[in-house]
Chains A and B, each alone.
Chain A
Amino acid sequence: MPSANTPLAATSPRLTSAARAARTVAIAGNPNSGKTTLFNALTGLRQKVGNYPGVTVEKKVGRFFGAHGDPFDLLDLPGTYSLQTRSPDEAVARDVLLGRRAETAAPDLLLCVVDAANLERNLYLVAQLAELGLPLVVALNMMDLAERNGLVTDPAALSARLGCPVVPIVASQKRGLVELKHAIVAHLDGAPPRRAPLPEPLETAARPLAEALARERVVATRFAMAEALLLLSAVDDELVAALPGALPATVEFARTQIERAGIDRLSAAVQSRYAWAAELAAATQHANDAGRATASDRLDTWLTHRLWGWVFFLGVMAVMFFTIFRVAEIPMDWIEAGQVVVSDWAASAIPAGDFRDLVVDGVIAGVGGVVIFLPQILILFFFIGLLEDTGYMARAAFIVDRLMSRVGLHGKSFVPMLSSFACAIPGIMAARTIDNTRDRLVTILVAPLVSCSARLPVYALLIALFLPAGGAWRKAGMMLALYALGLTAAFAMAWLLRRTLFKGERSLLLLEMPPYRRPSLRATALRMWERAVMFLKRAGTAILAISIVIWALSTYPKPEHSDATAAEALATSCAGRLGHAIEPVIQPLGYDWKIGVGIISSFAAREVFVGTMSIIYAVENGEEDTDSLRDRMLAETRPDGSPVYTPLVVFGLMVFYVLAMQCLPTSAVVRRETGSWKWPLFQLAYMTALAWSAAFLVYQGGRLLGFS
């Protein structure tokens, strides 16, 4: 071990023989450094994924064991290039490191994953971590890739200069993990590493500020210097304004001092850290054949080519959509069959009555109606994982950013929008990768306009009504047109929101283009598993509750005479009455109260519309028989004898379903992701207004033009 700067024993609690409580190691690293791969390799399936309370940052904790079976909690921090915080979400990683989050144990040691093939830039984060004054271990990852790129690295020299253990590893092949664990155990109470030298005036100004911060107990003494440097180079003054007592004035004074010394406070610390990183990299790594084009470079000349880039991109999308919509049908049929079995079993096991109806029609049908999308969501995340693992996702964002930025979206909005074709819920959750709050909100607000697969059965029924005699190709064309309308509406709304509510600072795209890599099936499978658990948890809570409410609304109050048909029962229920109540509002769209009931019941999940229509029109053996339902609906007439489902009404209804926000589970997720009811309510309001106006224009405009 190199000589230590300061002894650390005073600040970290000594473990007594009785205390075998797990010690905490926080793992940090740049995006694309292989941090997640290492985390998975160390912990296997012994990991928990949750959320930090109050924010949308994912909290992932895993467990691994040292050579003597001593347990360690491994805390996964979000991948980041810098510890400078700009949003509440970004502040979480820093707060965790500084032990400021009450629900999370303060780390005893930091493990920083460094990409050996990209040493210089990765060392920037090491420089920032070193300023925290905690024991640090560097895992020098991707040694194989670095070697292939002709880079010769000297871990011992790096360790000597950093003043902390440096362990070469290949996380994807689990090479070097034993040595890494040994280094962690041995260094638990070790000394913190050396830090990058900063310009003298900056140090001089930061020191009294650090003392004041420690005195006011804003941070623990050991972290005070790091906090002072953060405050001095912060662009955003909210952090400063939030400080207690006279501290804002102290910060201001220190800033003036620095500027008087002729130093730019925004860039000085970054410049010196990078200068240090460059020097360190140059001293510990050299390139054998610099300037050689890597395989990745050669691949990129094709995959981001003016023409072939688009061909490949569209090809990938086509394969993905085909799999999501065609291949997923097989397991979806299984789930449906399973649901029928469970529901039959429940129907025979529970005596007839309200409770049985609740279980069968409310819980099983409601939750089953959403769980049926699980295969699609899994396939979606399989592809997203694959695209991210290989590095193609960055290229996709690179290719489409120009189009997305035209409407004020972001290259990174691409994944959430894409996911929303399966279901808006994973799409909205995927928006977490967008670091700018405005960009993220706009993406979340427009995501449900993209046609999700729950609309598919509704579209199928309505197209059958619209083109009863149409051939398969005409129907497919109609379907495509509806999808195109949704996507266009999403882009148009994004453009509008960007120019009204979310005016201001242009979004920023700074995208690392990592080298192409072979994907790891294990990592992808793990990721799919994580998403599946998250989705099923939601189905078990919010979606379950919503299903029960919708069931109750369409069941109570019951009709007075007990031999009423299902259709009559529905008419007397709350949902039926609501349908009647909203009739004046939907009459200008050409709808009657029965369509109103269908629209209201769609709030559980849109495809419920089909089931509700089956109940209303009392189709024999209820579900799935689109043809008989279609014929029954086409025969439906108004009191004056004219048909209800004219092509014009159906067309308006299709437009309505493309644009309307009728999905309470999505609203619940938006609330969770944005932290308040403000945005889901706004979303509900604007989408309903949009859908109503568009359907109104179609119906009334069409009538003026002489259509029927």
Chain B
Amino acid sequence: MTTPAVLAGQPVGTRAKITGFALPPNTHQRLLEMGLTTGTECTVVRYAPLGDPLEIRVRGYHLSLRQSEAAGVHIAIVR
């Protein structure tokens, strides 16, 4: 089974499948256009030296986003 969770604060190396969003429409669409669509898998790569933003690997490339947005990305942890 999967655990309901958000992308923000996940430890480095976590593999996650995106299950949904709780973000303003504009932000939501921007994330979609960068390839973070529902059902996509991504991996937490690293956090910036001050803990924010975080860098993830998605669709074969690296993307960084802030914790505040990552907190609106619902995920299921892939084991």
Residues of A within 8 A of B (CB): 81-82, 84, 86, 118-121, 124, 233, 235-236, 266-267, 270-271, 274-275, 278, 281, 297, 300-301, 304-307, 309-310, 394, 398-399, 401-403, 405, 411, 505-506, 508-514
Contact = CB atoms under 8 A, between A and B. Distances in A.
A274 B37 contact: yes
Contacts of B66: 401, 405, 508-509
B29 A270 contact: yes
A510 B34 contact: yes
A513 B65 CA distance: 10
B51 to A, nearest CB: 7
Contact of B60 (A121, A124, A306, A307): A121
A510 B63 contact: yes
A124 B49 contact: no
Interface of B: 24-35, 37-38, 40, 45-46, 48-53, 55, 59-66, 68-69
B35 A274 contact: yes
A304 B46 contact: yes
B69 A271 contact: no
B49 A399 contact: yes
Contacts of B69: 508-510
Given A274-B35, A402-B50, A84 B29 contact: yes
A121 B34 contact: yes
Contacts of A510: 30-31, 34, 63-65, 69
B32 A271 contact: yes
A235 B69 CA distance: 18
Contact of A235 (B25, B34, B45, B65): B25
B25 A511 contact: no
B53 A401 contact: yes
B60 A513 contact: no
Contact of B64 (A233, A270, A309, A509): A509
Given A270-B33, A271-B32, A509-B53, A304 B62 contact: no
B37 to A, nearest CB: 5
Most buried by B among A86, A274, A394: A274
A196 to B, nearest CB: 13
B64 A398 contact: yes
A270 B63 contact: no
B26 A81 contact: no
A120 B35 contact: yes
A307 B48 CA distance: 11
Question: Per DSSP, are chain B's interface residues mostly helix, strand or loop, or mixed?
Answer: mixed
Nearest to B38: A271
Contact of A267 (B26, B38, B63): B38
Contacts of A304: 46, 48-49, 55
A266 B31 CA distance: 12
25 contacts: A84-B33, A120-B35, A120-B59, A121-B59, A235-B25, A266-B28, A274-B59, A297-B45, A300-B46, A304-B48, A398-B53, A398-B64, A401-B53, A402-B53, A403-B50, A508-B27, A508-B30, A508-B66, A509-B53, A509-B66, A510-B63, A511-B64, A512-B34, A512-B61, A514-B61
A439 to B, nearest CB: 13
Contact of B37 (A267, A305, A505): A267
B26 A235 contact: yes
B46 A271 contact: no
B51 A402 contact: yes
A82 B61 CA distance: 16
B29 to A, nearest CB: 6
A403 B40 CA distance: 30
Nearest to A149: B60
B47 to A, nearest CB: 9
A705 B32 CA distance: 59
A591 to B, nearest CB: 43
Given A81-B34, A510-B31, A505 B26 contact: yes
A301 B47 CA distance: 10
Nearest to A512: B63
B35 A513 contact: no
Contacts of A271: 32, 37-38
A124 B59 CA distance: 11
Given A401-B52, A511-B53, 15 more contacts: A84-B29, A84-B33, A120-B35, A120-B60, A121-B60, A267-B29, A267-B37, A274-B59, A305-B49, A398-B55, A399-B48, A402-B51, A505-B26, A508-B26, A508-B30
A82 B49 contact: no
A513 B55 contact: yes
Nearest to B51: A402
Contacts of A306: 49
Contacts of A310: 49
A120 B68 CA distance: 26
Contacts of A235: 25-26, 29
A9 to B, nearest CB: 34
Most buried by A among B26, B51, B60, B66: B60
B12 to A, nearest CB: 11
Contacts of A118: 60-61
Given A84-B29, A270-B33, A398-B55, A511 B63 contact: yes
Contacts of B51: 402
Contacts of A81: 33-34
Nearest to B61: A118
Contact of A309 (B24, B49, B53): B49
Contacts of B68: 506
Contacts of A124: 33, 35
Contacts of A511: 53, 63-65
A235 B24 CA distance: 10
Contacts of B64: 394, 398, 509-511, 513
A73 to B, nearest CB: 29
Nearest to A272: B37
A301 B30 CA distance: 27
Which 6 pairs from chain A and chain B are nearest by CB? Answer: A402-B50, A513-B62, A82-B33, A270-B32, A120-B59, A235-B25
Contacts of A84: 29, 33
